[in-house]
Amino acid sequence: MALETQFETMRQIFDLVPHFLFAKDGDSRFLLVNQTMAAAHGMTAEEMVGRTMDEVYDDPALVARYRADDLDVIKGGKSKYISEEPFVDALGAEKTLETTKIPFKDLDSGKPAVLCVSLDITGRRRAEEALRESRAHLNDAQRLAHIGSWTWDIATGKLQWSEEHYRIFGVEPVGRPITFGEALAMVHPDIEP
């Protein structure tokens, strides 16, 4: 396979990845950008490569934050995982990204650079927040209705009691999943499991 064909194949694969893939040098200049990353910024990959973060982002605080993380990785020579970082796309939609930054040397210049992979976790964060809210509403409803509940994790064989369940049985919450034996001992301390 000719070198040019290999490069085109790699570029095609790079652009098919649905996550943000990009590389920047120590001056925060984009060296490589996939189509997913470029589209989120309202550009093509060709338009974005060669620009600095200052030319791409309007928020100086965000640029400073991204730059500090990049320099940590470049100077420290170690990868960095960022569980959540803010991002605003070209349409103004606020998103949350999960990012891994990896140090490497740019083959053209021989200078240190950073490779970044960012996943859009906005939907997952919204679902987690909705689940937290739903659980809080359920706990409030159970408390107000004086109804306790419990769940059983089949894999571990452990029970998780609601706060109201503990109140109904007149025992102090333990704050962790419990075994059937522990539950029996709490409710009937006179019976040995």
- Which domain CATH number covers 139? 3.30.450
- Provide the 3-class DSSP secondary structure of residue 4: helix
The structure tokens listed for 52 are 């600095």
Domain boundary among 120, 144, 169: 120
* Number of domains within the chain: 2
In a domain, 193, yes or no: no
Percent of the chain predicted with pLDDT > 90: 50
Asked if 84 and 13 sit in the same domain, the reply is: yes
| Residue 15 CA: distances (Å) to CA of 11, 38, 40, 83, 179 | 6, 10, 13, 24, 50
Last residue of some domain: 120, 139, 157?
A: 120
The reported pLDDT for the residue numbered 49 is: 95
Tokens representing residue 178 in the block:
């419990």
Q: Which residues pair with 114 in a beta bridge?
A: 24, 103
Residue 1 is predicted with a pLDDT of: 60
Which amino acid is residue 57, in one-letter code? Y
pTM attached to this predicted model: 0.69
Whether 99 contacts 79, CB under 8 Å? no
pLDDT-derived band at 153 (thresholds 50, 70, 90) equals: confident
Q: Is the dihedral of CA 24, 87, 17, 117 positive or negative?
A: positive
Do 80 and 173 fall into the same domain? no
Same domain, 110 and 32: yes
Nearest to 97 by CA among 149, 15, 22: 22
The least confident of 51-60, 98-107, 179-188 is 179-188
In a domain, 15, yes or no: yes
Residue 160 and residue 105 share a domain = no
* Residue 190 vs residue 102, higher pLDDT: 102
- Count of alpha carbons within 13 angstroms of residue 23, beta-carbon side: 15
Residues 92 and 136 reside in one and the same domain: no
Mean pLDDT of 6-16: 82
Which amino acid belongs to residue 145? A
Q: Which of 33-42, 84-93, 151-160, 165-174 has the highest mean pLDDT?
A: 33-42
Mean pLDDT on 1-16: 79
Question: Which of 54 and 135 is assigned the larger pLDDT?
Answer: 54
Examine the domain organization and report whether 16 and 111 are in the same domain: yes
Q: Is residue 11 part of a domain?
A: yes
Q: Are residues 135 and 113 in the same domain?
A: no
The answer to whether residue 167 is domain-embedded is: yes
For residue 48, the model assigns a pLDDT of 95
Whether 51 and 116 share a structural domain: yes
> Does residue 10 lie within any of the structural domains?
yes
Residue 78 in any domain: the answer is: yes
Asked if 103 and 73 count as a contact pair (C-beta separation under 8 A), the reply is yes
- Domain hosting 10: range is 3-120
Q: Where are the alpha helices (DSSP H) in 31-160?
A: 35-40, 45-48, 53-56, 60-76, 122-145
